Structure 1
Amino acid sequence: MNYFIMMQDDRISNAIEPVGVSEVISAEKVVDEQIYKIDKLNLQFPVREKEVVEYVDFIQRPVSLLSDKLKQLIEKYVPDIYTKSVVLVDINRVRQDLYWLVVPPRIKCLSHQSEFHKDGTVKKLVIDEKKVASYKVFKIDGIMEEYTVISLDVAESLLRRDFMGIRLKKIEKQSMQKEVI
């Protein structure tokens, strides 16, 4: 099966930007063992003031946030995925929008064929398909980047609908060829 990195479309320069999220939701809290700390929080954040704001369906940074419509689609494939409601408030437009913090499971699926830059970031991402065969949405354990990965069937379903602000990048699968030395 093929897998894709789900990314926020950086071509949309006026996408909605929540402010102050990283002060409340740190990367350490967005892991399975620490998720209970988020459950107790009432998450409401203002958005950065802009002349025009596009309400995209996927916000990648500082944490992964899904629109309500995208969350409903993801839950059809992964009913037990952890989500927490987040309200984004645009005071100037007197508008509140419901987004969802999503915390997919972290899977150790890196292939030995993956390559890294000197600073530890991914140069060439290759996953071991056997380790992720049963997962539809997940994050990759063992890399610095916070990639949200979706399976081919989720990607196809996403593309059949009118979601805005989402790009998909195909991930390489581990080749089964033996190296000759």
Structure 2
Amino acid sequence: MRYFILSQDGRISDAVEPMGVTQIITKERMKEEYRHELEELTLQFPIRETNKCEYIDFIERPVPLASDKLKSILTTYDPHLYVKWVIVADRKRTRQEKYWLFIPPCVECLSDRSEFHKNGTSKRLVIDERKVGSQPVFTIAGIRESYILVNLAVAESVLRRGMLGIRFTRVETEAR
């Protein structure tokens, strides 16, 4: 199986940018044992004011946010994927858009062939297909970066729908 890093397309310079997210959605709340705290919250965030805002289908940072179209695909392939609705508000233009915070499962799938820089960041990322199993959307345990990976079927499904602001980068795999 082929896997790809799902990321925000950096070429879209006027992509919508939610503000104040990390004050509410902390790293601890992103962990499975604290997700119940997220369920109790109503999540609405203002956006950074700019002349033009492009509402892309995937906002990578500070937390992964998916449009309705992207969320629909992700949950079709992984019905157990944790999702929570979030409102992104442009007060200047009185516009609100619904996005979905999603938290993929973390999988121990790093291959021994992976290489790292001295500061601990990935130099060469290699995942072991056998350890991934049938998981269509996931993050990788044991690395500093918080990459979201999807399998080929998910990537193709997203690409067929012409979504805005999404980029895929193929990841090296090993199957023993």
Q: TM-score, normalised by structure 2?
A: 0.97
| Deviation (angstroms), 1:110 | 0.4
Report the equivalent of 2:62. Answer: 62
Report the equivalent of 2:158. Answer: 158
How far apart, in 2, do the equivalents of 1:86 and 1:134 lie?
28
Report the equivalent of 2:132. Answer: 132
Identity of aligned residues (%): 51
| Deviation (angstroms), 1:174 | 2.1
How far apart, in 2, do the equivalents of 1:167 and 1:37 lie?
31
Q: Deviations over 1:76-119 (max 9, x none)?
A: 11112110010000001110000000011000000011111111
How far apart, in 1, do the equivalents of 2:132 and 2:12 lie?
31
Letter in 1 for 2:26: S
Letter in 2 for 1:88: V
Q: Deviations over 1:46-81 (max 9, x none)?
A: 000000111010000001000111101111111121
Q: TM-score, normalised by structure 1?
A: 0.95
Report the equivalent of 1:174. Answer: 174
What aligned pairs does 1:32-111 form with structure 2 within 5 A after superposition?
Answer: 32-111=32-111
| Deviation (angstroms), 1:162 | 1.7
| Deviation (angstroms), 1:33 | 1.6
Gaps of 5+ in 1: 177-181
Instruction: State how many pairs are aligned.
Output: 176
How far apart, in 1, do the equivalents of 2:28 and 2:5 lie?
21
How far apart, in 2, do the equivalents of 1:155 and 1:78 lie?
13
How far apart, in 2, do the equivalents of 1:32 and 1:109 lie?
18
Report the equivalent of 1:179. Answer: none
How far apart, in 1, do the equivalents of 2:54 and 2:129 lie?
35
Report the equivalent of 1:141. Answer: 141
The runs of at least 4 aligned residues of structure 1 exceeding 4 Å deviation read: none
Letter in 1 for 2:174: Q
Report the equivalent of 1:114. Answer: 114
SS at match of 1:75: helix
Letter in 2 for 1:151: N
How far apart, in 1, do the equivalents of 2:48 and 2:129 lie?
39
**CA RMSD between the two structures:** 0.9
How far apart, in 2, do the equivalents of 1:129 and 1:42 lie?
37
Report the equivalent of 2:28. Answer: 28
